[in-house]
Amino acid sequence: MKYFTKNSASYHYGWISSAFLLLFLLSFNFVSSGQGSIHIDLFKVQPVVTKVNTYKVQVNLSYQLSDYLSKSLLNGIILKSQLQFYYEQPNNWFWNKQKRLATLKFQLKYHALSRHYLLSRNDTNEHWNFGNISAALRKMGEIRNYELPPLPAKEEGNNRYISAVSQLEPSSLSLPLRLQSFLSDKYRLVSQEVRWPLP
């Protein structure tokens, strides 16, 4: 109730608070413009019939670069993509048991002389080049028959999941921007987490 009194001190405080609120909203809209996104459109887990307790995954991801990431790429900064897979076992008493199974890594860079986008995959050492960014992002988002490490033995009575989440960020990011990346999709993109239940 002190805020709503008519004395000059309270009125001055209220005016300053309103001004700060307006500046915050304007800055939020400014930062939000030009943001990018990652979305996992398909996530499918299948057993490897020749191996015990081993699975392979099919994944489709859609990448939309933020203005900052697009400009960074054109200015010679390498973009790093990580697709992380986890094994989860819910625990009704405390928290879910989670174990990182694998991390699939890509690197994307722009070759200014040829005006091509160069994509590489770390685990297979494969390399591709594309004449446009859309084709490069589409290739980076298509994962087929990626075999995961063998899973731990199932505990009796517990359900199990394999989950996945993806992120994309510049290879070099200053500390202030790295801190900001946790608050905005302008500097670092993170997808939603998806799950696949196991038998």
| pLDDT in the model for residue 186 | 64
Q: Is the pLDDT of residue 11 over 50?
A: no
Q: What is the pTM of this model?
A: 0.76
Tens digit of each residue's pLDDT (9 = 90 or more) over 22-62? 444 434 433 344 689 999 999 999 999 999 999 999 999 99
| pLDDT in the model for residue 190 | 95
Q: Residues 80, 170: contact at Cβ < 8 Å?
A: yes
* Separation CA 174–CA 120 (nearest Å): 24
Q: Tell me the CA end-to-end span of the chain in Å, nearest whole number.
A: 58
Contacts 24+ apart (CB under 8 A), 168-172: 168/36, 168/38, 168/63, 168/65, 168/69, 168/79, 168/80, 168/81, 168/82, 169/79, 169/80, 170/69, 170/72, 170/77, 170/78, 170/79, 170/80, 171/77, 171/78, 171/79, 171/80, 171/107, 172/77
Tens digit of each residue's pLDDT (9 = 90 or more) over 103-158? 999 999 999 999 999 999 999 999 999 999 999 999 999 999 999 999 988 766 67
Please report, for the chain, the start and end positions of each structural domain, with discontinuous segments joined by +.
Answer: 1-33, 35-198
